[in-house]
Chain A
Amino acid sequence: MPNTKNILIVGVGGQGILLASELVAKVALSKGYDVKQSEVHGMAQRGGSVSSNVRYGDVVYSPTIARGEADVLLSFELLESLRWLEYLSPRGVAIVNTQRIDPMPVASGKAEYPKNIEEKLQQKSHALYIIDGQRLAEQAGHIKAVNVALLGVLSTILEFDEKVWQTAIKNRVPAKTVDINFKAFNLGREAVSRN
């Protein structure tokens, strides 16, 4: 559907991708949109490649995003951003975390980690944000807050105001981590203005 917004969130199992996409979906729902969110469980904890589709609009039918139609590609890992790049629309925005996680073929010396990833991303995205999510999360107070820091970046591109995001985060994360997550979220937002 033409007015549907497509957000593809990708990375490696264990990086907090499913929580991030759940938050995006909840934010869209709270603004009255029809929402579909789709991911595949099962291998998520085993270090495999993970992708989650979030789509919102007046009416959303398909749970998955077609290649070339993602408005935003939010990638938690460099190699994965390249793997899913074909899903990004030519008018789309890529937000890419600088973390590198070697897959088994690379870790065992059987394959090479691709080079010049930034260049390739630059060529194929309308706008590109390269974000050191680890550093933002550490600044916020916990390395696990990378996903919320990256959501902070995403929030500057989407139409929803800060308050809605904060409510969604507050309702979802453990109470004692709310402050850290708010801080990570804000650092993500600030990172965009510096980028």
Chain B
Amino acid sequence: MKKLLSGNEAIARGAFEAGVDIAAAYPGTPSTEILENVATYKEIYAEWSVNEKVAFEVAFGAAVGGKRSLAAMKHVGVNVASDALMTASYTGINAGMVLISADDPGMHSSQNEQDNRYYAKFAQVPMLEPSSSQEAKDFTKLALEISELFDTVVMIRMSTRICHGKGVVQLEDRVPYMKKDYTKEPAKYVMIPGHARKRHVIVKARNAKLKEYVENVPVNIIEKGSSDIGIITSGVSYAYAREALPDASFLKLGMTNPLPINKIKSFVQDHQTVYVVEELEPFMEEQIEAAGLKVFGKDVLPDVGELSPELIRERILGVKTDVPQNGELPGRPPVMCAGCPHRAVFNALRKHRTTVSGDIGCYTLSTLPPLNTMDSCLCMGASIGMAQGFIRSMDKRKADRVVSVLGDSTFIHSGIPSLVNAVYNQAKITVVILDNRITAMTGHQENPGSGKTLLGDDVKPFDFEAVSRAIGAGYVRTVDPIDGMELDRVIGEAIEYQGTAVVIAKRPCVLVEPNQFPGIMKIDKELCTECKLCLRVGCPSISIHDGMVTIDQNLCFGCSLCQQVCPQDAIHRITS
């Protein structure tokens, strides 16, 4: 049967067909839908782990234990998991394991566009790069075979367009995997120096064998065209280049670590001019040039952002696309939703003239006008650690008003050790945990705080207040952010507190519970003086037309934040 599947759905299907039994992930765009889809196959145990390192370790443990497994994460998630990955390369596996890295060239929803192909080389593990949904499925199955053939984790490098792009996929049946026996083997699985030294030699021998294997692997294909232009490419870049250059010859590489250097050599010799078409870094180009071959790559193509057929056509064939310009248009940046419980917190933080050490989640949108609140956002969990640096380097006046802001899931992901560090090292900071009961930014995944697992089991919800107290924070309060007076008072107290303070702003995401408020808000035109203070709260349901401020009845959820800032008492709740 043929079906239209996204690359992420196809990875899940591939895992299902290949007999994968255990899968783990932490949500992150563009990888999230992989585990959401794996979870629809009841044959597979699937979990949201608390972070990518744990997800990798769960999958790795399962593979060592004897069942096929998969771990999925976005590119920056692999940074978190890399500690485990680097040594898992030494130990090898027992049953097959595949690691999916979903890269985000163009940074559609990420803080950087690092090229994770280098991780495969760094960790010395084989890597496959699908260029379509069909390949995403096929390569998942192949990755597990290679994994077992060479006793190593295998990485699949996806990118946003492959993850979220849909294409036609031929479905097959699941072939259940015969569980392998686990036997205790400390020399292989206990990486003390004496064992690791021997394992590193084995890794090198494995690399040598992989270099032979990759020369003949069926996913590295030559598509014959003109001998004038030869293209060496992989992943989504193949799809773009194939479209842009219908007459060229292609060496399409499905497996890109290690590279099939001999195959590349003969391809280069057979063509007059050879281009390496790859998004982001010159990962293949540098290795090909190091082998003494003359190719073009980053001297004509960009090493930032996404490629496109248009760009390749222009840079390689010199054909410019002539399109009329529209002139400047008002941008449409994403905004915090109307009714979002986070908005109130940022309005309060702005009022208290705080320096906001921020983090990764929907609330990072508070950086944009009109809220303009966040000072920094680096990586998952960085808000609490950076705040501890801020207070030790900034002038006292500023240092006394440093606040870390991070979400419920981000706190659990990697905020907890940093809070321990703050308490231990006596940091006078305020940590605000925006607890909206869900991992919202990536599309509402369950987390320990929401008290549900990926497979739908009810569990005891993570208790942010109890954990903060147990860690030793001296001031810990939970507050409803919609209660503006109380929020204001608690944040004021926390900032004054001479130690580590934790404020948990707790209210469910409005998209998960849209009916949490009794009716919506309306402006009384008679009373409104057009002072525009309500516009400053940054709610997308409030707008101004010809001097008149209105609330869009279709967008408002009734959170009442605008009512709380209105000095004329001109905004009222209407219930109908």
CA distance A42 to B8 in the complex (A): 14
A25 CB contacts on chain B under 8 angstroms: 4, 166
**Do residues A82 and B329 form an inter-chain contact, with CB atoms below 8 A?**
yes
Instruction: Determine which of A43, A82, A105, A124 lies in contact with B334 in the assembled complex, contact meaning CB atoms within 8 Å.
Output: A43
Question: What sequence of 0s and 1s flags, for each residue 94-135 of chain A, a beta carbon within 8 Å of any chain B beta carbon?
Answer: 000000001111111111111000001000100000000000
Closest residue of chain A to B365 (Cβ to Cβ) is: A46
**Do residues A104 and B335 form an inter-chain contact, with CB atoms below 8 A?**
yes
Check if B532 is an interface residue, CB within 8 A of chain A. yes
B310 CB contacts on chain A under 8 angstroms: 66-67
From A12, A37, A104, A113, residue with most partner B Cβ within 10 Å: A104
Q: Give chain A nearest CB distance to B287 CB in angstroms.
A: 25
Which of B46-54, B119-127, B210-218, B534-542 makes up part of the contact surface? B534-542
Q: Give chain A nearest CB distance to B320 CB in angstroms.
A: 11
Which of A56-64, A154-162, A173-181, A184-192 makes up part of the contact surface? A56-64
**Do residues A35 and B167 form an inter-chain contact, with CB atoms below 8 A?**
yes
CA distance A40 to B162 in the complex (A): 10
A38 CB contacts on chain B under 8 angstroms: 161, 164-166
Q: Which residues, 236 to 270 on B, are CB-close (under 8 Å) to A?
A: 236, 238-240, 242-244, 246
Check if A183 is an interface residue, CB within 8 A of chain B. no
CA distance A46 to B441 in the complex (A): 9
Q: Given A45-B337, A46-B362, A104-B369, do A114 and B167 touch, yes or no (CB 8 Å)?
A: no
Q: Give chain A nearest CB distance to B424 CB in angstroms.
A: 36
Interface size, chain B (Cβ < 8 Å): 60
CA distance A113 to B331 in the complex (A): 10
Q: Give chain A nearest CB distance to B501 CB in angstroms.
A: 30
Check if B370 is an interface residue, CB within 8 A of chain A. yes
**Do residues A46 and B166 form an inter-chain contact, with CB atoms below 8 A?**
no
Closest residue of chain B to A37 (Cβ to Cβ) is: B166
Q: Given A38-B165, A48-B332, A114-B330, do A107 and B324 touch, yes or no (CB 8 Å)?
A: no
Check if B323 is an interface residue, CB within 8 A of chain A. yes
**Do residues A61 and B243 form an inter-chain contact, with CB atoms below 8 A?**
yes
**Do residues A83 and B239 form an inter-chain contact, with CB atoms below 8 A?**
no
**Do residues A66 and B535 form an inter-chain contact, with CB atoms below 8 A?**
no
**Do residues B160 and A124 form an inter-chain contact, with CB atoms below 8 A?**
no
**Do residues B337 and A46 form an inter-chain contact, with CB atoms below 8 A?**
yes
A103 CB contacts on chain B under 8 angstroms: 330-333
Closest residue of chain A to B246 (Cβ to Cβ) is: A1
CA distance A62 to B337 in the complex (A): 33
Check if B171 is an interface residue, CB within 8 A of chain A. no
Q: Given A46-B334, A48-B334, do A85 and B535 touch, yes or no (CB 8 Å)?
A: no
A82 CB contacts on chain B under 8 angstroms: 326, 329
CA distance A183 to B329 in the complex (A): 35
**Do residues B324 and A114 form an inter-chain contact, with CB atoms below 8 A?**
no
Check if B336 is an interface residue, CB within 8 A of chain A. yes
Question: What sequence of 0s and 1s flags, for each residue 213-243 of chain B, a beta carbon within 8 Å of any chain A beta carbon?
Answer: 0000000000000000000000010111011
Closest residue of chain A to B306 (Cβ to Cβ) is: A64
Instruction: Determine which of B4, B29, B239, B511 lies in contact with A63 in the assembled complex, contact meaning CB atoms within 8 Å.
Output: B239
Q: Given A61-B243, A63-B161, A66-B310, do A105 and B326 touch, yes or no (CB 8 Å)?
A: no
Check if B309 is an interface residue, CB within 8 A of chain A. yes
Q: Give chain A nearest CB distance to B73 CB in angstroms.
A: 15
Closest residue of chain B to A84 (Cβ to Cβ) is: B326
Q: Which residues, 50 to 102 on A, are CB-close (under 8 Å) to B?
A: 60-64, 66-68, 79-80, 82-83, 85-86, 102
**Do residues B511 and A45 form an inter-chain contact, with CB atoms below 8 A?**
yes
Closest residue of chain A to B106 (Cβ to Cβ) is: A40
**Do residues B535 and A108 form an inter-chain contact, with CB atoms below 8 A?**
yes
Check if A29 is an interface residue, CB within 8 A of chain B. yes
Check if B339 is an interface residue, CB within 8 A of chain A. no
Check if B168 is an interface residue, CB within 8 A of chain A. yes
CA distance A13 to B336 in the complex (A): 12
CA distance A42 to B33 in the complex (A): 11
Q: Which residues, 307 to 344 on B, are CB-close (under 8 Å) to A?
A: 308-310, 313, 321-326, 329-337
**Do residues B544 and A40 form an inter-chain contact, with CB atoms below 8 A?**
no
Check if B543 is an interface residue, CB within 8 A of chain A. yes
A68 CB contacts on chain B under 8 angstroms: 321-323
CA distance A113 to B161 in the complex (A): 31
A42 CB contacts on chain B under 8 angstroms: 29-30, 108-109, 441-443
**Do residues A105 and B168 form an inter-chain contact, with CB atoms below 8 A?**
no
Instruction: Determine which of A47, A79, A110, A143 lies in contact with B540 in the assembled complex, contact meaning CB atoms within 8 Å.
Output: A47
Check if B2 is an interface residue, CB within 8 A of chain A. yes
A106 CB contacts on chain B under 8 angstroms: 330, 543
**Do residues A104 and B540 form an inter-chain contact, with CB atoms below 8 A?**
yes
**Do residues A66 and B308 form an inter-chain contact, with CB atoms below 8 A?**
yes
Q: Given A35-B166, A42-B29, A42-B30, do A47 and B4 touch, yes or no (CB 8 Å)?
A: no
Instruction: Determine which of B323, B326, B544 lies in contact with A83 in the assembled complex, contact meaning CB atoms within 8 Å.
Output: B326
Closest residue of chain B to A101 (Cβ to Cβ) is: B332
**Do residues A12 and B332 form an inter-chain contact, with CB atoms below 8 A?**
yes
B321 CB contacts on chain A under 8 angstroms: 66-68
Q: Which residues, 22 to 52 on B, are CB-close (under 8 Å) to A?
A: 29-30, 33
CA distance A103 to B161 in the complex (A): 26
**Do residues A62 and B239 form an inter-chain contact, with CB atoms below 8 A?**
yes
CA distance A79 to B328 in the complex (A): 12
**Do residues A124 and B324 form an inter-chain contact, with CB atoms below 8 A?**
yes
A111 CB contacts on chain B under 8 angstroms: 330
| Shortest beta-carbon contacts, A-B, top 8 | A42-B109, A46-B334, A107-B543, A48-B334, A63-B165, A103-B332, A62-B243, A38-B165
What is A's interface to B at a CB cutoff of 8 Å? 1, 12-13, 22, 25-26, 29, 34-43, 45-49, 60-64, 66-68, 79-80, 82-83, 85-86, 102-114, 120, 124, 143
A-B contact pairs, 25 of them (CB 8 A): A29-B168, A35-B167, A41-B33, A42-B29, A46-B365, A47-B332, A61-B240, A62-B240, A62-B309, A67-B321, A68-B321, A79-B330, A82-B326, A83-B326, A83-B332, A85-B326, A86-B325, A102-B543, A104-B332, A107-B542, A107-B543, A109-B535, A111-B330, A112-B330, A124-B324
What is B's interface to A at a CB cutoff of 8 Å? 2, 4, 29-30, 33, 108-109, 132, 160-162, 164-168, 236, 238-240, 242-244, 246, 308-310, 313, 321-326, 329-337, 362, 365, 368-370, 441-443, 511, 532, 535, 538, 540, 542-544, 554
